[in-house]
């Protein structure tokens, strides 16, 4: 048996993009005119923009992953991470190249991959296992552990279409992680779960890795990547930019991801895809609500993050997820729009708007921080990853009013009160 679990040579995946006419609406007259024009002008005019364009999501991707190795895959949004996992999982067929796999694969690429909504949780466990090539006896042996991990005992014989998003996610991950396949592929679906569930999943993946199974893990959470992996593959525009030690790859990625953010302004490079109901267009950091964008602040003053978005419809279950991390990827804050009680995104209607986050004074210590942003939903058809702009800002905090100043170590700069009471004589 080979020591190589995954071998990829010259892998390429191409999509055909159709360019739409600039008008917002297309009338019947427009369609008929175009048809007639195409009969007499089969070739487009020189210099005219093409109506169809080939986009290579992956190109000339080559690497090998050893049996029992845990490898992280990182990169900006649109770098080709999810496409790569879909091709390896045999969900999408490549246009060129070769993939060799040793062993069976279980994939966790989105919530409930391979689940049938009309079947019960019990039936979906056996169905998913059968799809993965597991024998009935193998699934039965793991059944109790799957149910216990997912914590859905009381709803096991209920159709999964009636599950909450949390129950759906727990059961989907439990099936993928517990069935005895040789290769486990996990995209960043864990952001939908709460903090306790995320810790539980990361612990399970560590256990899976220690058992000698091969794991491919995609995440924007550099802390999780650093914790689970020793090797990391960095993708850029569909190609392998770097394949090496995890810390080296993280440093290159974080440097790359913050290019052009020096002025306190993040502008989305690509236009909103037609099928995406919510899209972040621009993010700025400011000292005052109506002030100019800047990226340097004082620890003694609060500052604001302005998130400008556009929405085409309401999105059930939509929430925003925010991380502050240091330049080495260490997470110093994690939170979402549901933390403060009423979620401002609840009842969101179509249109454009601005979501504002106020960061209080004397919370974070001096240093350079990055802002990582995503919007998720466990209930909408476009979820769980509704929109993930990724790293949208980098700012610097300075401590100018205390004795230690910028020499202060640690992640917080809260000033504590010291009180002295002399003992009675």
Determine phi and psi for 101, rounding to 5 degrees. -125, 135
* Per-residue confidence (pLDDT) for residue 241, from 0 to 100: 93
| Residue 349: Cβ within 10 Å count | 8
Q: Please, are residues 135 and 179 in contact by the beta-carbon 8 Å criterion?
A: no
Residue indicated by tokens 């019947």: 28
CA 419 to chain centre: 46
CATH superfamily label, 56-257: P-loop containing nucleotide triphosphate hydrolases (3.40.50.300)
Domain with CATH 2.70.50.60 in the chain: 265-407
- Separation between Cα atoms, residue 322 and residue 333, nearest integer Å: 8
Are 91 and 13 within 8 A, CB to CB?
no
Neighbours of 236 (CB within 10 A): 16
DSSP annotation string for 198-234: HHHHHHHHHHHHHTT-EEEEE-S-HHHHHHH-SEEEE
Q: If you search the block for the tokens 């175009």, which residue do you land on?
A: 34
Q: What is the pTM of this model?
A: 0.66
Closest-CA residue to 239 (of 11, 98, 61):
61
Within the chain, which residue ranges are assigned CATH 3.40.50.300? Answer: 56-257
CB atoms within 10 A of CB 154: 8
For 246-269, letters b (16+ CB in 10 Å) and e give beebbbbbbebbbeebeebbbebe
Residues 308, 278 contacting (CB under 8 angstroms): no
Q: Pairing state of beta strands 278-286 and 303-311?
A: antiparallel
Is it true that domain 265-407 has CATH number 3.40.50.2300?
no
User: Could you tell me how far CA 351 lies from the centroid of its own chain?
Assistant: 24
SS (H, E, C) 152-171: CHHHCCCEHHHCCHHHHHHH
Distance, CA of 231 to CA of 264 (rounded, Å) = 32
Q: What is the DSSP letter of 339?
A: T
* CA-wise closest residue to 70 among 254, 234, 227, 177: 227
Q: How far is CA 274 from the centre of its chain?
A: 20
Give the three-state DSSP class for 28.
Answer: helix
Query: What per-residue confidence (pLDDT) applies to 25?
Result: 46
DSSP 123-163: HHHHHHHHHTT--HHHHHHHHHHHHHHHT-GGGTTSBGGGS
Cβ pair 296, 396 in contact under 8 A: yes
CA distances from 314 to 310, 350, 376, 380, 389 (A): 11, 6, 13, 10, 19
Q: How far apart are CA 211 and CA 69, in angstroms?
A: 10
CB 282 within 8 A of CB 292: no
118: which residues sit within 8 A by CB, 6+ positions away? Answer: 159, 161
CA 260 to CA 295: how far, in whole Å?
A: 12
Could you give the CA distance from residue 100 to residue 84 in angstroms, rounded to a whole number?
A: 14
The rounded distance, in Å, linking the Cα atoms of 125 and 172 is 9
Consecutive 10-residue runs of the chain (425 residues): their mean pLDDT?
A: 86 77 50 59 54 83 92 86 88 91 79 75 87 82 88 88 78 80 77 65 79 85 82 93 92 75 78 86 92 91 95 91 87 89 88 94 92 87 82 91 87 90 80
How confident is the model at residue 24, as a pLDDT?
46
| HEC sequence for 44-104 | CCCCCCCCEEEEEEEEEEEEEEECCCEEEEECCCCCCHHHHHHHHCCCCCCCEEEEEECCC
Note the Cα 22 to chain centre separation in Å.
Answer: 31
Beta strand 183-186 with 214-218: parallel, antiparallel or unpaired? Answer: parallel
Res 114: pLDDT:
65
């Amino acid at each position: 048996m080979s020591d190589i679990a995954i071998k990829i040579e010259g892998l390429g995946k191409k999509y055909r993009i159709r360019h739409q006419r600039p008008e917002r609406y297309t009338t019947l007259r427009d369609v008929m005119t175009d048809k007639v024009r195409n009969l007499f002008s089969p070739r487009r005019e020189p210099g005219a923009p093409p109506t169809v364009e080939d986009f290579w999501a992956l190109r000339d991707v080559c690497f090998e992953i050893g049996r029992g190795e845990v490898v992280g895959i990182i990169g900006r949004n649109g770098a080709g991470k999810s496409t790569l996992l879909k091709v390896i999982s045999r969900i999408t067929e490549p246009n060129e190249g070769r993939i060799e796999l040793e062993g069976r694969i279980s994939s966790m690429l989105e919530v409930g991959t391979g689940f049938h909504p009309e079947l019960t949780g019990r039936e979906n466990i056996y169905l998913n296992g059968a799809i993965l090539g597991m024998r009935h006896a193998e699934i039965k042996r793991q059944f109790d552990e799957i149910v216990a991990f997912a914590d859905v005992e009381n709803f096991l014989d209920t159709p999964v279409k009636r599950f909450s998003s949390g129950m759906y996610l727990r059961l989907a991950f439990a099936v993928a992680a517990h069935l005895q396949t040789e290769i486990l592929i996990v995209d960043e679906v864990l952001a939908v779960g709460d903090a306790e569930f995320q810790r539980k999943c990361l612990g399970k993946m560590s256990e899976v890795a220690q058992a000698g199974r091969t794991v491919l893990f995609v995440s924007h959470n550099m802390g999780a990547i650093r914790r689970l992996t020793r090797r990391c593959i960095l993708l850029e525009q569909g190609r392998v930019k770097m394949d090496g030690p995890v810390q080296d790859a993280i440093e290159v990625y974080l440097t790359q991801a913050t290019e052009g953010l020096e002025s306190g302004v993040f502008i989305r490079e690509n236009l909103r895809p037609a099928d995406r109901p919510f899209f972040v267009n621009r993010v700025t950091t400011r000292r005052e609500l109506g002030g100019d964008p800047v990226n340097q602040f004082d620890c003694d003053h609060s500052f604001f993050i302005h998130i400008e978005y556009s929405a085409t419809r309401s999105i059930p279950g939509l929430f925003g997820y925010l991380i502050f991390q240091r330049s080495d990827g260490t997470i110093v804050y994690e939170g979402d729009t549901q933390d403060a009680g009423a979620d401002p995104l609840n009842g969101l209607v179509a249109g454009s708007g601005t979501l504002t986050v106020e960061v209080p004074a004397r919370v974070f210590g001096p240093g350079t921080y990055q802002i990582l942003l995503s919007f998720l939903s466990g209930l909408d058809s476009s979820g769980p990853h509704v929109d993930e702009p990724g790293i949208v800002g980098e700012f610097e905090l300075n401590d100018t009013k205390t004795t230690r100043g910028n020499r202060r170590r640690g992640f917080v700069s809260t000033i504590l009160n010291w009180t002295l009471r002399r003992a009675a004589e």
